[in-house]
Amino acid sequence: MTSSAAATSLSSHGSARPIVEMTAHELLALQERGELTAVAIAEAFLTAAQQLEVHLRSFLWLDAEEVLRQAQAVDLRRRSGQPLGPLAGIPVAIKDVLCTKGIRTTCASRILANFVPPYDAHVIERLKAADAILFGKTNMDEFAMGSSTENSAFQQTRNPWDLQRIPGGSSGGSAAAVAGCQAPVALGTDTGGSIRQPAALCGIVGLKPTYGRVSRYGLIAYASSLDQIGPMAHDVTDCALLLQVIAGHDPRDSTSAPLPVPDYRGRLNEPVRPLRIGVPREFFDKGLDAEVESLVQQALRQYEKLGAKLIEVSLPHAPYALAAYYIVAPAEASSNLARYDGMHYGHRTRHKADLIGTYAKSRGEGFGKEVQRRIMIGTYVLSSGYKDAYYRKALKVRRLIKQDFDQAFEQCDVIMGPTSPTPAFRIGEKINDPLAMYLSDVYTVSCNLAGLPGLSIPCGFTREGLPVGLQLLGPPFSEETLLRIARMYEAVTDWHTRRPKLPVPPSPVTS
């Protein structure tokens, strides 16, 4: 960032860098050495967030006083010598799909515009226990349905690398906030690519953990069998740091895995050797942007230089993943979103009507077009007479996709390919063509269908200066290895250190 107003601090290399361009692990180290306070960090990010919000529109809610209060509490405890959690004083932006006690949680939907949860999501409890600073709620596609954050009922978030373009989605607010240096790290959720695709399009690192690695308690469901919460950050180390805090069994989520959580940072800098990288031919098919392909190929060659062996693998059912996804996810969504009916909470129509009429009007007014479209698709594919042809068939495809991965991982340690078939597209470019929009997820959905961990790291920029992401997929619960493999590449590249140049408005704008 170029703002002259931005606070700076001496990094470990001794060069002055703005606080807001630093990573969480750098900020932690500076606090521990007494060179920086949590309040200073909070003030720097609040200033940046407020100044840039006019361009980025990442946040649906941000309360400066509340942020400062949390930061002061951390500093006080540090001064009095009390032990602090692993994310002490680190601002974490929260996708507005995660319930925060006493703070409005909207899913970027009119139907929940005034919903204030009476409880914290599991991950929010974990962040609080780790002394992180809850740094606002970020914009998203309504109910996490979308790939561009254009489906938010409230505002259009923009890509920090090109304000005319979308940040990806559905965790577009979180991605833009981190890439735009409004917050050092963020939480996103990923049902079909909603962490990895915006991470790729905004030039940051995003990790979707294995299904069951992170408790979904308090995550407002889109598609329960696919949803996972994960970290979004400038680099792999920050992802490891954040994952460490949020991962682990939670008895309130029956699908959360009762498995121990490894130390993700412990061996992060140890390369994985030997390393066999599976490259599925199905991920380099038509529809893949030539520049994206070339950057991904260069990244693969970089891994070869690091001693990895590239193995061509096949995921024969990958071409059916998108179709299966757009049946399974809407089917679950049609049921998950049935509760928003205007009866007990959320938007209720002002029009007088009978029971059915009240349901129809409340939901018609409260849900946006894409959400309505997916509810209709989901209702249709579960209806008697169609269930066998669609829903049951999609479940079969899902099993076959899982099998494909199981077989591929017998030959390789990790699968690599592009995260997204294209770099960030222009705002409005695909909004009236849902099928073109759905294709943004073509490489990311199979990971969710198979329940695997997936990670996107920056692997270069197009000639227009748009970031491109490399996707790494691993076997279930291989996050530790996946992060180490990603770190190998990151250690020899500098894409993750780049920050967009953003214009600063003449006077600070408060959000």
Joined tokens for residue 356? 């059915």
Burial 119-140 (b: 16+ CB within 10 A, else e): ebbbbbbbbbebbbbbbbbbbb
Which of 75/141 has CB closer to another protein? 141
Binding mask 323-362 for another protein (x = CB under 8 A): --------xx-xx--xx-x-xxx---------xx--x---
Does residue number 192 form part of the binding site for another protein (CB under 8 A)?
no
Phi, psi of 127, rounded to the nearest 5 degrees: -65, -45
Whole-number minimum distance, CB 33 to another protein, in Å?
A: 38
Residue among 14, 34, 83, 118 that touches another protein (CB under 8 A)? 118
Is the bond into 91 cis (omega within 30 degrees of 0)? no
User: What's the longest Cα–Cα distance across the chain?
Assistant: 69
Residues in a beta bridge with 138: 59, 95
Phi, psi of 204, rounded to the nearest 5 degrees: -125, 180
Does residue number 372 form part of the binding site for another protein (CB under 8 A)?
no
Whole-number minimum distance, CB 361 to another protein, in Å?
A: 13
Does residue number 115 form part of the binding site for another protein (CB under 8 A)?
yes
What's the Cα-to-Cα distance from 81 to each of 32, 75, 325, 388, rounded to whole Å?
A: 11, 10, 51, 63
Q: Among residues 121, 470, 444, 85, which one has the least CA distance to residue 241? A: 85
> In sequence order, what are the residues at sequence separation of 6 or more whose Cβ sits closer than 8 angstroms to the Cβ of residue 331?
223, 378, 381, 382, 391, 394
Residues in a beta bridge with 428: none
Binding mask 376-395 for another protein (x = CB under 8 A): ---x--xxx--x---x----
Helices 236-246, 122-129: crossing angle, 10 deg rounding:
110
Q: Using CB under 8 A, which residues numbered 238 to 257 contact another protein?
A: 251-255
Question: Which one is catalytic: 109, 171, 174, 194?
Answer: 194
Whole-number minimum distance, CB 93 to another protein, in Å?
A: 18
Binding mask 86-105 for another protein (x = CB under 8 A): ------------xx-----x
Which of 12/386 has CB closer to another protein? 386
Which of 284/345 has CB closer to another protein? 345
Residue among 36, 90, 112, 185 that touches another protein (CB under 8 A)? 112
Length of the chain: 511
Joined tokens for residue 269? 């800098």
Residue among 42, 71, 90, 121 that touches another protein (CB under 8 A)? 121
Segment interacting with another protein, rule: CB under 8 A, options 152-160, 166-174, 215-223, 433-441: 215-223
Binding mask 5-24 for another protein (x = CB under 8 A): --------------------
The question of whether 478 is a catalytic residue gets the answer: no
Which of 247/502 has CB closer to another protein? 247
Which of 298/335 has CB closer to another protein? 335
The question of whether 95 is a catalytic residue gets the answer: yes
Whole-number minimum distance, CB 259 to another protein, in Å?
A: 14
Which of 3/100 has CB closer to another protein? 100
How many residues touch another protein (CB under 8 A)?
Answer: 43
Whole-number minimum distance, CB 385 to another protein, in Å?
A: 9
The question of whether 507 is a catalytic residue gets the answer: no
Determine contact, residues 293/286, Cβ cutoff 8 Å.
no
Whole-number minimum distance, CB 25 to another protein, in Å?
A: 30
SS3 of residue 165 by DSSP: strand
Q: In what order do the strands lie in the sheet with 91-95?
A: 59-61, 133-138, 91-95, 185-190, 228-233, 205-208, 454-461, 467-473, 414-418, 276-280, 309-313
Q: What's the per-residue H, E or C state across 237-298?
A: HHHHHHHHHHECCCCCCCCCCCCCCCCCCCCCCCCCCCCEEEEEHHHHCCCCCHHHHHHHHH
d(CA 328, CA 392): 9
Phi, psi of 87, rounded to the nearest 5 degrees: -120, 30
Which of 387/393 has CB closer to another protein? 387
Question: Which one is catalytic: 3, 58, 148, 170?
Answer: 170
Does residue number 225 form part of the binding site for another protein (CB under 8 A)?
yes
Relative to beta strand 185-190, strand 228-233 is antiparallel
Does residue number 117 form part of the binding site for another protein (CB under 8 A)?
yes
Helices 236-246, 24-32: crossing angle, 10 deg rounding:
80
Element (H, E) at 125: helix 122-129
Phi, psi of 372, rounded to the nearest 5 degrees: -60, -40
Which of 217/409 has CB closer to another protein? 217
Which of 373/392 has CB closer to another protein? 392
Whole-number minimum distance, CB 360 to another protein, in Å?
A: 10
Whole-number minimum distance, CB 337 to another protein, in Å?
A: 9
Q: Using CB under 8 A, which residues numbered 275 to 334 contact another protein?
A: 331-332, 334
Which of 220/415 has CB closer to another protein? 220
Does residue number 219 form part of the binding site for another protein (CB under 8 A)?
yes
Question: Which one is catalytic: 3, 58, 95, 420?
Answer: 95
Q: Point out which residues bind another protein (CB under 8 A).
A: 98-99, 105, 107, 112, 115, 117-119, 121, 216-221, 223-225, 251-255, 331-332, 334-335, 338-339, 341, 343-345, 355-356, 359, 379, 382-384, 387, 391
The set of catalytic residues is 95, 170, 194
